[in-house]
Amino acid sequence: MSEAAIHHDDHHEHHPGFIQRWFFGTNHKDIGTLYLLFSLVMFFIGGAMAMVIRLELFQPGLQFVDPQFFNSMTTMHALVMIFGVVMPAAVGFANWMIPMMIGAPDMALPRLNNWSFWILPFAFTLLLVTLFLPGGGPAGGWTMYPPLMLQTGDAFPFVIFAVHFLGFSSVMGAINIIATVFNMRAPGMTFMKLPLFVWAWIITAFLLIASIPVLAGAVTMLLTDKYFGTSFFDAAGGGDPVMFQHIFWFFGHPEVYILILPAFGIVSQVIPTFSRKPLFGYESMVYATAAIAFMSFFVWAHHMFTVGMPLAGELFFMYATMSIAVPTGVKIFNWLATMWRGSLTFETPMLFAVAFVLLFSIGGFSGLMLGITPADFQYHDTYFVVAHFHYVLVTGAVFALFAGAYYWLPKWTGHMYNETLGKWHFWLSTISVNVLFFPQHFLGLAGMPRRIPDYAVQFTEWNMVSSIGGFVFGLSQLLFVVVVIQCIRGGAKATNQVWEGAHGLEWTLPSPPPAHTFTTPPKVTDSVAHS
Amino acid sequence: MSDSHGAYYVPQSSHWPIVSSIALFCLFGGTAMWLNDYAAYPYVLGLAVALVLYFMFGWFGEVIRESETGKYNHQVDVSFRWSMGWFIFSEVMFFAAFFGALFYARMYAGPWLGGEGKGFATNEFLWPEFAYTWPMLSFPEGSFYSAPSGIIGAWGLPAINTLILLTSGATITFAHWALVKNKRSPLVWWLAATVALGVLFIFLQGEEYIHAYQDLGLTLNSGIYGATFFLLTGFHGFHVSMGALMIFIIMLRAIRGHFTPENHFAFEAVAWYWHFVDVVWLFLFIFVYWL
Ligand code: HEM
Ligand SMILES: [Cu+2]
């Protein structure tokens, strides 16, 4: 590249107007901020739906909402939380951090990056507007099983197209991340020097590219079955409703790893910093993550043990599922070993990260129980499953996102957040989330089915406990908003390194970093490389 | 409006992403309204088409201008390569879902409906009359779906179409060789030949569909056979159309003197795409028409 080709247009460079910056922008940091704010807003929309669910379940009998609406709440809650909160937040972190961590000037395809973001508000408009259509929102569950899903009213095509639209955004985002990491690393930033967050994201990106198009195919078949007379999922025409479940879960199980791997990545950054030790077993961490991702394509039918599969299938998917616990265990071991004899301090990010390790493990163990085919015949479609996936998703993925937010907020805003409020947020959340979800294990084992607005009276006590935990958890999240707003508006100045034990390229930059960083690639030496 | 930071080209800002989001929003929303019979759908779809055309011309036009004015260095070129490669992989996985449905129906669902296997009582209790064959010309519940009188054999039009697509894979390679040797006129002619073969393929595919619908009664409604047949070949045909359109644009650009022997990633991207469409067809030919 000759010098002549590099010209700087200073006016636009340093003072883009509001619209230019936030709507037409190409800057990875601004787009990262948009993703994160979007995710925060959706967190409260999805959360409000959860409050409706817990309110109705506070007592047996039907008190507040009718069953159809209740079911559309569970369906929408899941879709919003998965596609609107956890995935966009993870992409937001990726946008902000990956270029700074690998010493790149921006994402590889900046316009496409903005496109991936701007699809989200429009796709969610398509999805959320269905609540106001004749027939109400989709109520067949986020897994969209036919034939039930085919009974959806006017909402049906909107939901299908929202899924297509969201998938489009995810695939473009994933492609962008792959191009960025493979092509934009600063000289000397070899693969085995990449921070684990970056590793986690490349692997996630491959999962996205391989699985999201399969979901698109599955919902396309639903659409043609409903409107164009095909019979993919209708046995009367030679198809099979179970076939949908196979195709869906071929996407669905990798999807749960799409949700959790970036979280693993964040925790792998936070724990070494507050242990003031390098991560234990870096290479085994990389290989374990890759192994989990690869294996996630061969376990899907553990969601279908009770549907009627040949015995060989039941056995294969049971053993395959069990074996994923091995690389997962490697990761848990490494996090613990990183803390072992470290000089630990427990600032809010570390609190969330430690809670993550502990509580995610509970979710992992209940997953193992569910993975045992004969046991799952009892647990399937009960609240035990609900408890399982909330431990891995809320105290897993969401807690890791909180850890990451507290960890990097000072870098992003240039201010320290309010540590006292942060700790309050942590303790209130951690106590209430366990009050909320732990009893659901008991309910499930005792036989309470999921996705039901009413229940037998013997389940009342634990449901009340669970609902109270839910309300406290919901309210506690308002504290997080206060912390974020305060931190954006002011607070103690953050240093470049922010945390005493933080290492890596991003911590060599000022806090907040200028709009454009690493426009000329930094030199990566061993001392600034991964933490 | 644009600026390069250091060596890597980072456009300063662009309204195309948001315009195209709105365009797709109208397209999806309008189609959903149409499926629900909402009166306003023609307006929304009309707006969608206008917006899609606007952003396609606008955005691609901008990228082409940037490319031709030398804003993209080698590293940007490599980013495009990674992206196109993995985009094609995502398309492979999209087709995989439909091939998966085909294999599942043929290897599991069909035989089980026909009474094979232990513990699958559907046949015994619901449809004891049903015997499984592939191609499936009669269905467990005959009154729900329209049975075709026959299917499209492999060795008529489909075989000719296979030849056509394989030939077009060769012609686009000849075009590439011509481009690398900087022989401009053969470049344009080989591209034109490729477009023509693509169009011919689509035309014959259309004939085949008409034959299926009118003479054989083979429709989307013809059970799992019709469903897999039309969705697989239909999505493939759509991809061929897109590919032919893109090659056509590449040809127009070649006529205008775009591309150099060293620098022509747009050409290569479209060629990769064309080969991908070709390979998908081979799988279709083998598993949908032939076996
Ligand atoms: C050790 C690892 C894990 C194992 C062995 C495991 C196993 C299982 C099994 C067998 C089920 C099906 C239960 C049933 O429906 O009867 C299930 C459901 C589920 N799991 Fe996991 N799981 C693991 C980790 C995770 C992770 C990391 C996530 C997400 C971050 C996750 C999210 C879910 C979700 C969302 C469902 C419910 C899906 C639905 O039916 O709506 N799991 N898990
Ligand atoms: Cu799973």
Q: Tens of pLDDT along B22-80?
A: 999 999 999 999 999 999 999 999 999 999 999 999 999 999 999 888 888 889 999 99
Of A437, A359, A352, the closest CA to residue A402 belongs to: A352
Band (pLDDT 50/70/90 cuts) for residue A11 is very low
pLDDT above 90 covers a percentage of chain B that reads 85
Of B290, B135, B154, the closest CA to residue B224 belongs to: B135
- Work out the minimum CA distance from A238 to partner chain B, whole angstroms: 5
Question: What's the token pair of residue A186?
Answer: 């600063």
Does residue B4 lie in a domain region? no
Task: Tell me, in angstroms, the distance from the centre of ligand 2 to residue B107's CA.
Answer: 24
Does residue B2 lie in a domain region? no
CA atoms B125, B126, B131, B133: torsion sign: negative
Domain match, B257 and B203 both: yes
Domain match, B106 and B235 both: yes
Q: Going by C-beta distance under 8 Å and a sequence separation of 6 or more, which residues neighbour residue B155?
A: none
Q: What share of chain A is helix, strand, coil (3-state, %, to 5)?
A: 75, 0, 25
- Does the CB atom of residue A503 touch ligand 1 within 6 A? no
Give residue B149's Cα distance to chain centre: 28
Backbone angles phi, psi at A101, to 5 degrees: -75, -30
Q: Tens of pLDDT along A288-343?
A: 999 999 999 999 999 999 998 999 999 999 999 999 999 999 999 999 999 999 99
Active site (catalytic) residues of A = 77, 106, 142, 169-170, 253, 255, 257, 268, 302-303, 328, 331, 450
Q: Do B110 and A108 touch (CB under 8 A)?
A: no
Q: Do A246 and B93 touch (CB under 8 A)?
A: no
> Is residue A437 within 8 Å of A463, Cβ to Cβ?
no
Q: Do A239 and B223 touch (CB under 8 A)?
A: yes
Domain at A3-67+77-508, CATH from 3.30.2350.10, 1.20.210.10, 3.30.365.10, 2.60.40.10: 1.20.210.10
Range of the domain at B258: 73-290
For residue A9, give the nearest of B3, B71, B141 by CB distance.
Answer: B3
Of A176, A16, A10, the closest CA to residue B14 belongs to: A16
The crossing angle, in degrees rounded to 10, of helices B223-255 and B157-180 is 30
State the pLDDT at residue A77: 98
Domain match, B167 and B60 both: no
- Tell me: pLDDT of B224 over 70: yes
State the pLDDT at residue A526: 66
Task: Count Cβ atoms below 10 Å from residue A219 Cβ, excluding itself.
Answer: 22
Question: What's the token pair of residue B70?
Answer: 């030398």
State the pLDDT at residue A8: 40
Complex ipTM value: 0.95
> Is residue A398 within 8 Å of A476, Cβ to Cβ?
no
Query: Integer distance in angstroms from the first to the last C-alpha of chain B?
Result: 56
> Is residue A501 within 8 Å of A450, Cβ to Cβ?
no
Q: Taking the domains of chain A in order of start, what are their residue ranges?
A: 3-67+77-508
State the pLDDT at residue B3: 41
Radius of gyration of chain A from Cα atoms? 23
Q: Tens of pLDDT along A463-487?
A: 999 999 999 999 999 999 999 999 9
Domain match, B90 and B153 both: yes
Q: Which of B71, B95, B121 is the last residue of a domain?
A: B71
For residue B122, give the nearest of A123, A216, A235 by CB distance.
Answer: A235
Q: Which of B53, B71, B89 is the last residue of a domain?
A: B71
Of B96, B52, B84, B45, the closest CA to residue B235 belongs to: B96
- Does the CB atom of residue A256 touch ligand 1 within 6 A? yes
Radius of gyration of chain B from Cα atoms? 23
Amino acid at A214: V
Which string of DSSP letters, residue by residue, matches A248-265?
Answer: HHHHHHHHHHHHHHHHHH
- Tell me: pLDDT of A109 over 50: yes
CA distance B137 to B218: 9
Give whole-number Cα distances, A447 to A54, A62, A455, in Å: 18, 19, 10
Chain pair A-B, CB pairs under 8 angstroms:
256
